[in-house]
Structure 1
Amino acid sequence: MQDIDWKTMYSGVVYVAKHYPLMIILYILLCVILGMGVSIILAFIFRKYKVISREQKYYNWAVKLYLPTLLIINIIFSLKIGLFWGCYEALKNDSYNLSSQVYHTSSSLIFENEHSKKEFIGDLRSIVTELSHNNQNIKVQVKDIVKAYDTKYQVIDRPKNWLVSLFIEKYGDKIHTLIVYGMLNSVPHINISESISYKEFDKITNQLAMLDSQDIESSLVQKIQNLFLIVLKSQFKTIVKGMLMIWGLLMFIPWIEVSIYKFVMKRKRSKAIIK
């Protein structure tokens, strides 16, 4: 189970609540209706199996409180699940826009025109030359190229969108690596491994220089979007699983209590018969 990044998740909730309030309300209403339906079904099951029936007068009154408590718990959990579900769907719909902001925040990596593309390729060539120590056959790690570029050219600008800022802050290294790998692999019939020699790199960049800048940029945004959706899905599943586990434990309490009650009453009756 992946650790939940609550700072980013709650920032996502605020972002969605601000931009997609109707979607949030829709999913909350849907989950509340489902929660009330579940409450009715559970109340019927409780009555059928006498979970809320006791022989003692006041005890019998007390266990009747399970029914309103059941409804309140289900509504609370429905509200929370509806909120996070709505946020999840809204962020999915807005994922390309957010990923585009993440990409364009990396101003030094934008392929907005042929000049910026050639400048970027030239910068990477100089880095690969330094890392390979002028030996064209020595293999250099792509991750070292990414790290050197980030250090030398200060890739990331400060984004205006604070949700994008949080995503970059936590996954900046992966984003840089995705962009460089994606850029190199945008050349047809090329599949870059973890390392590459200067000779191989020079051949790829010559072909890369002939590709359309906008096509490359669109491809890189899609790769960032894929990372964003993987992180989003993982976080959402972790949160919902945790909520459902807690909900299940709370729903199980009446059954534990009634089982203990029946066991105690059975022992009392057995002792009474013996006497």
Structure 2
Amino acid sequence: MSLCFVLGIIISIILSLILKRYKIISRQQKYYNWAVKLYIPAIFIINLIFSLKLGLFWGTYEALKKDSYSISQQTYNAATYYAFKDEKSRKHFVGKLQSVVSDLSNSNQNTKIQIVDIAKAYDTKYQAVDRPKNWLASLFAEKYGDRIHTMVLYGMLNAVPHVNISESISYSEFDQLTHQLIMLDSKDVESSIVKKIQNLFLMVLKSQFKTIVKGILIIWLLLMLIPLVEFCIYQYVMKRKQNNSVPM
């Protein structure tokens, strides 16, 4: 915010000098000339407000990005912690997934099954939001619960060493993976899932930040163009008056 505040002052000084240099705030009429001089303090006020607002969003973005892993852990704890808390829970979770994949594959076990379809078909009792401690993690999990559920499956399957799961998998491939999943350390599974959730969180965060900044900059630019637009209108009107005053 301090950096943006200083930047706002510098931009205000530069714009004010440009307005004076090109006589954009000079008028022939006495009171009109006084009135347009108010553009200078208005520019400073607007730039300071917008620079502080931009600094606030920028600082928040950097803070959330820095804390993204912790937020992703909160989301993970709210969504799937109890599915992997011990060997019994893990076997139950994997076994239920095997059943879902088996139903989706029908009679042909070599048919490729979309991971997204598995996520949709798996009716987990562990809701996407289960009183996470972090409010932002709760909001994130609530809004992107379905995608997080898919991320969990990707993260879980990719936790197996030397395995990189694409968007689809056959039943036979999944069946082989499940035997290795049961043998994995819960910490390895957790780390893989949290990283997948973190990637989604960072992608959403960046998208939201870019949208907010773009909106702020567009409004700021429109406000900064007001003196120039008003000056062009003034010149047009004065030129019309001069043309009308010339005798035929």
Q: TM-score, normalised by structure 2?
A: 0.90
Query: Deviation string for 1:49-71 (max 9, x for gaps)?
Result: 11110011011011011111111
Is the deviation greater in 138-147 or in 80-89? 138-147
2:141 to 168, 183, 198: 168
Is the deviation greater in 35-44 or in 155-164? 155-164
**Counterpart of 1:153?**
125
What is the identity, as a one-letter code, of the residue corresponding to 1:126? S
CA distance in 2, matches of 1:139, 1:196: 5
Query: Is 1:179 aligned with 2:144?
Result: no
**Is the 2:5–2:55 contact (alpha carbons within 8 Å) kept by the matching residues of 1?**
yes
Query: Deviation string for 1:64-92 (max 9, x for gaps)?
Result: 11111111111111121111111111111
**Counterpart of 1:73?**
46
CA distance in 1, matches of 2:124, 2:27: 75
CA distance in 2, matches of 1:227, 1:204: 24
Query: Is 1:220 aligned with 2:184?
Result: no
**Counterpart of 2:183?**
210
**Counterpart of 1:252?**
225
Query: Is 1:126 aligned with 2:99?
Result: yes
Q: Percent identity?
A: 63
**Counterpart of 2:61?**
88
**Cα drift, residue 106 of structure 1:** 1.4
Query: Is 1:57 aligned with 2:22?
Result: no
Q: 1:189 to 1:274 in 2, by over 3 A?
A: farther
**Cα drift, residue 109 of structure 1:** 5.8
**Is the 1:104–1:110 contact (alpha carbons within 8 Å) kept by the matching residues of 2?**
no
What is the identity, as a one-letter code, of the residue corresponding to 1:188? P
CA distance in 1, matches of 2:198, 2:230: 48
Query: Deviation string for 1:16-69 (max 9, x for gaps)?
Result: xxxxxxxxxxx2x22122111111111000000111100110110110111111
**Is the 1:36–1:74 contact (alpha carbons within 8 Å) kept by the matching residues of 2?**
yes
Which sections of structure 1, spanning at least 5 residues, go unmatched?
A: 1-26
**Counterpart of 2:12?**
39
**Counterpart of 2:109?**
136
**Is the 1:185–1:191 contact (alpha carbons within 8 Å) kept by the matching residues of 2?**
yes
CA distance in 1, matches of 2:18, 2:111: 71
Query: Is 1:240 aligned with 2:213?
Result: yes
**Counterpart of 1:20?**
none
CA distance in 1, matches of 2:238, 2:111: 81
Is the deviation greater in 74-83 or in 51-60? 74-83
User: Runs of 4+ in structure 1 displaced over 6 angstroms?
Assistant: none
Q: 1:203 to 1:264 in 2, by over 3 A?
A: same
RMSD: 2.1
Q: TM-score, normalised by structure 1?
A: 0.82
Which sections of structure 2, spanning at least 5 residues, go unmatched?
A: none
**Cα drift, residue 123 of structure 1:** 2.4
What is the identity, as a one-letter code, of the residue corresponding to 1:148? A
**Is the 1:112–1:214 contact (alpha carbons within 8 Å) kept by the matching residues of 2?**
no
**Is the 1:105–1:159 contact (alpha carbons within 8 Å) kept by the matching residues of 2?**
yes
Count of residue pairs the alignment pairs up: 247
**Counterpart of 1:195?**
168
CA distance in 2, matches of 1:37, 1:63: 21
**Cα drift, residue 138 of structure 1:** 4.5
1:196 aligned counterpart, secondary structure: strand
CA distance in 2, matches of 1:267, 1:128: 78
1:209 aligned counterpart, secondary structure: helix
**Is the 2:158–2:192 contact (alpha carbons within 8 Å) kept by the matching residues of 1?**
no
Q: 1:170 to 1:215 in 2, by over 3 A?
A: same
